[in-house]
Amino acid sequence: MPGSVELFIWYLGTAFELAFVVCSIARKSFFTYFFLNLYMLLTVLVDVARWLVCRQFGFDSDQYMGCYYYTDALLTVLLYVLLVSLFARVFGELRFAKHMRLAAVVLLLGTAAFSYAVIAQSESRLYTGSVFAYELSQNLYFVGIVLTYLLWAAVLKLRETRTRLVQIVLSLGVYFSLNAATYALCNVAPQYGGVIHAAGAIGCLLPLAWCITIMRYSEDSRLAPAQLVAVPR
């Protein structure tokens, strides 16, 4: 089994994920933010499945590794769908929803094809599906980073005022940025063991931020629009 700190972070994160779904149901927002809730619900189930596999076969077993990467790919695909649903909300009033869906499908299929091509280039790499799951998950994760920043820019450009939507997008952006920064730090300064724990701890922050957003603001909450900049003549 993993160390006590890692286990604590794991349990805490799972509790926050479950808390988000409960808060969402309590605030009658489950279907309003369906994909967010589906993602969190599936993450809880995946956490439970991973814990059971870890307990049954051991932390360093092939079974845990296979389970980890397959479920991670599944969650990353769902995270992608979640991001597309947020795009649909932000651009909902503009009339290119159909083209946005086309772009989302092309992007997902393109990422899958690219991941396959990367693996197929190397000999004897196709004997295990977890390699493809790993590659797809990593590529989709980086696509998610780019999409989140685009969404962030769109929220700023369109002067989005729906508080919940803005908070959810901002927290996703912070989450992805912190994850990428931790990852870079892991590679630059691997001697600091605490950095590895930080990656897990960041996983707890996203459901916590979403919990606070759902509980603190209603669907009707609006941000005050930014003041106009006075241009000297």
Partner 1 sequence: MSRRLSAIALALGILVGATGLKAAITSHAKGVTVANSPAPAPPQRRPVQ
List, in sequence order, every residue forming a beta bridge with 162; answer none if it has no partner.
222
By CB under 8 A, is residue 186 in contact with partner 1? yes
User: What distance in Å separates the CA atoms of residue 213 and residue 165, rounded to the nearest whole number?
Assistant: 9
Burial group, residue 8, by CB count within 10 angstroms (0-12, 13-18, 19+): middle
User: What distance in Å separates the CA atoms of residue 26 and residue 218, rounded to the nearest whole number?
Assistant: 12
Q: Which of residues 7-26 bind partner 1 (CB under 8 A)?
A: 9-10, 12-14, 17
By CB under 8 A, is residue 138 in contact with partner 1? yes
How would you label 136-161 residue by residue, b for 16+ Cβ within 10 Å and e otherwise?
bbbbbbebbbebbeebbebbeeeebe
Candidates 23-31, 42-50, 154-162, 214-222; binding stretch for partner 1 (CB under 8 A): 42-50
By CB under 8 A, is residue 6 in contact with partner 1? yes
Q: In this structure, are residues 23 and 211 in contact, taking their beta carbons and an 8 Å threshold?
A: yes
By CB under 8 A, is residue 94 in contact with partner 1? no
By CB under 8 A, is residue 200 in contact with partner 1? yes
- Residue 1 DSSP one-character state: -
Nearest distance in Å: CB 29, partner 1: 22
Q: Which of residues 63-82 bind partner 1 (CB under 8 A)?
A: 64-66, 68-69, 72, 75-76, 79
Q: Closest Cα partner for 73 from 147, 118, 120, 138?
A: 138
Binder to partner 1 among 55, 120, 180, 218 (CB under 8 A)? Answer: 180
By CB under 8 A, is residue 106 in contact with partner 1? yes
Nearest distance in Å: CB 9, partner 1: 5
By CB under 8 A, is residue 104 in contact with partner 1? yes
User: What distance in Å separates the CA atoms of residue 21 and residue 127, rounded to the nearest whole number?
Assistant: 38
Q: What is the DSSP string of 123-164?
A: TT-TT-HHHHHHHHHHHHHHHHHHHHHHHHHHHHHTT--BHH
Q: Closest Cα partner for 23 from 223, 164, 201, 160?
A: 164
Binding mask 116-135 vs partner 1 (x if CB under 8 A, - otherwise)? Answer: ---x--x--x--x-xx-xx-
Candidates 26-34, 106-114, 164-172, 212-220; binding stretch for partner 1 (CB under 8 A): 106-114
Q: Which residues contact partner 1 (rule: CB under 8 A)?
A: 2, 6, 9-10, 12-14, 17, 43, 46-47, 50-51, 59-60, 64-66, 68-69, 72, 75-76, 79, 96, 99-100, 102-104, 106-107, 110-111, 114, 119, 122, 125, 128, 130-131, 133-134, 137-139, 141-147, 150, 179-180, 183-184, 186-187, 190, 196, 199-201, 203-204
